[in-house]
Amino acid sequence: MSNPSIPDSQPTAEPDESFGELLSQFEQSHSRKPEDGSRQIEGTVIAVSAESVFLDIGFKSEGILPLAAFQSAGEEVKPGDKLVVSVKGRDPDGYYELSRFKTALPRDWSALERAFADKSTIMGTVTGVIKGGLSVDVGVRAFMPGSRSGARDAAEMEKLVGQEIRCRIIKLDVTDEDVVVDRRAVTEEEERSGKERRYSEVKEGETVHGTVRSLTDYGAFVDIGGVDGLLHVGDIAWSRVAKPADVLSVGQEIEARVLKIDPEKRRISLGMKQIQPDPWHSVAEKYKTGERVRGAVTRVVDFGAFVELEPGVEGLIHISEMSWAKKARQASDVVKPGETVEAVVLAVSPSDRRISLGLKQALGDPWAEVTQKFGVGSVIEGPVTSLTNFGAFVQLSEGVEGMIHVSEISAEKRITHPQEVLKVGQLVKTQVLAIDKERRLLRLGMKQLVPTSLDEYIAEHKEGDVVTGRLIEVSDGRARVELGEGIQGTCPIVAERPGKEETRAEAKTDLSALSSMLKARWKGGAAGGASKPEAIRAGQIRSFRIAKLDAVAKKIELELA
């Protein structure tokens, strides 16, 4: 494509013209006029090297652009692309130096006045650092304040010396030949323009390449070619990341997926983990209910602890599933962050991204063998774990507690509250009275272990012994027999009709002492051995044979001797 102001054809050389003359004519015809840089032409990319982009602009020689300008803007360029450029000049190798901006280097005051009035961008060359700023050649000597240079410090200002820059005239006094230029405004506009272009190019769902620019507690800001995207800490990896600085560093190059674009707020949300497979997709196949698993405790909360089973997959041990013993007051009493634990999978819900784990189940149910370990009648010692109005709880083993009802604490005195004789932590001996495995209840007694007169009587006698006792009650074929103070037994009775000689007075006889009754019985027997047997009735003194002794149940079965 030709430009009228820059001819693209040469006069036909006569045979006798020297090569030097031809070269001189070529350079003269291709030298840039002052206004050339203000006109833009379309060029075609013909090659891309490691540092430069070469374009066919319709001239005898190609044009050249720095590749870095495309890379900083996040643009890709390839042969065949069409670009609108303006010509700045020639480089030592003969290539036309190009610019993608419509700029001009003024050569007279009238051109400067037009540029000032139009607020157009012009080209200038930084010639040196002076007090308060920089000296710039824009066809005439101009001053650029340090604050308008775009440099952050003195070192950056020094680097600008000798560079060709784009700037804008912000003050022009022809009389005093005073010109002040501004580079910062131009670079900020170009940056905004580049960002606008980049925002329009980025699409949700695409994968982009970027560089970590800064780190915060909640995420990282990533430069994805002229615009920043926010990579939230929760979107860095499927596994839990406490701080972005633990896995990322400033200057690191990464790949991420564009998750969301907010055009109004100019916000781009990025995610790194989204370009990796979601580990929860295979959770249902990997973890089955009832299986044992191992993992590290990642965090402990009031209601339980989270355990990492694999990167990105955590299970929850609820506080109620941590111990078979009394409910823990807080999860931190049982497990700590960083601790490796073994647990049992209780439930798996991939759709809710939830796995329920049990710590106590991995230890085995202590109630599974409770009947074998604690049989009825066995004596066990354990600490009192808690007191209530109705009794005391005693730990028999890990996860197994029994309850002593207040009525089973003492046989000697009436107790209204267990704290009258017991306290938490006290070791006590108890006897197992009953076991309800299904309801996980175990009833204990303490008073059963305190020796009584009945215990001593049972210990001193054996089945078959003949003893003497007083009938204290006869009813429904059974009689209660007093064998001593506080000692009673039971005896089956076959009813007999009383004789006519019995009188009402005899039926009401009540001897004052067991010894005197026995003497009277023996005396009466000697005096009248031929009389009829006396009818069985309350108050009689008789001989009995011990049929059965039950030390555990504290029972004595008798039969008439």
Pairing of strands 292-301, 228-232: unpaired
Contacts of 502 (CB under 8 A, 6+ apart): 535
In angstroms, the CA 169 to CA 112 distance is 8
CA distances 281 to 176, 273, 299, 352, Å, are 76, 14, 23, 12
Amino acid at 430: T
Q: Write out the two tokens for 86.
A: 């303006």
In angstroms, the CA 142 to CA 148 distance is 13
- Contact in structure between 181 and 124 (CB atoms under 8 Å): yes
In angstroms, the CA 199 to CA 201 distance is 5
- Contact in structure between 413 and 407 (CB atoms under 8 Å): no
In angstroms, the CA 345 to CA 284 distance is 12
Pairing of strands 141-145, 133-137: antiparallel
pLDDT of res. 251: 92
In angstroms, the CA 269 to CA 282 distance is 27
- How many Cβ atoms from other residues are within 10 Å of residue 332's Cβ? 14
In angstroms, the CA 339 to CA 298 distance is 8
Contacts of 433 (CB under 8 A, 6+ apart): 376, 408, 443, 444, 445, 448
Enclosing H/E stretch for 507: helix 504-507
Q: Write out the two tokens for 337.
A: 């962050």
- Contact in structure between 159 and 149 (CB atoms under 8 Å): no
For residue 67, how far is the Cα from the chain centroid? 46
pLDDT of res. 344: 92
**Residue 3 exposure: Cα atoms within 13 Å on the Cβ side:** 24
- Contact in structure between 127 and 147 (CB atoms under 8 Å): no
Nearest CA to 337 out of 306, 294, 362 is that of 306
Chain position carrying tokens 């991995």: 362
In angstroms, the CA 195 to CA 216 distance is 22
Mean pLDDT of successive 10-residue segments in the chain (561 residues)?
37 41 42 47 90 88 84 81 81 79 63 89 89 89 91 89 90 85 90 78 88 92 87 90 90 92 85 90 89 91 91 90 75 88 92 90 78 82 88 84 86 82 89 83 84 82 92 90 89 64 41 47 44 75 92 86 82
In angstroms, the CA 429 to CA 446 distance is 7
The pTM of this model reads 0.44
Q: Write out the two tokens for 464.
A: 């078959």
CA distances 384 to 402, 433, 500, Å, are 10, 17, 64
In angstroms, the CA 380 to CA 442 distance is 12
Instruction: Report H helices in 324-428.
Output: 360-363, 370-373
In angstroms, the CA 12 to CA 25 distance is 11
In order of their start, the domains of the chain are 19-99 (2.40.50.140), 109-189 (2.40.50.140), 202-275 (2.40.50.140), 283-363 (2.40.50.140), 366-449 (2.40.50.140), 453-560 (2.40.50.140)
- Contact in structure between 185 and 148 (CB atoms under 8 Å): yes
In angstroms, the CA 321 to CA 363 distance is 11
In angstroms, the CA 7 to CA 60 distance is 9
CA distances 287 to 192, 309, 316, 364, Å, are 51, 10, 14, 20
In angstroms, the CA 484 to CA 452 distance is 12
- Contact in structure between 453 and 486 (CB atoms under 8 Å): yes
In angstroms, the CA 402 to CA 396 distance is 7
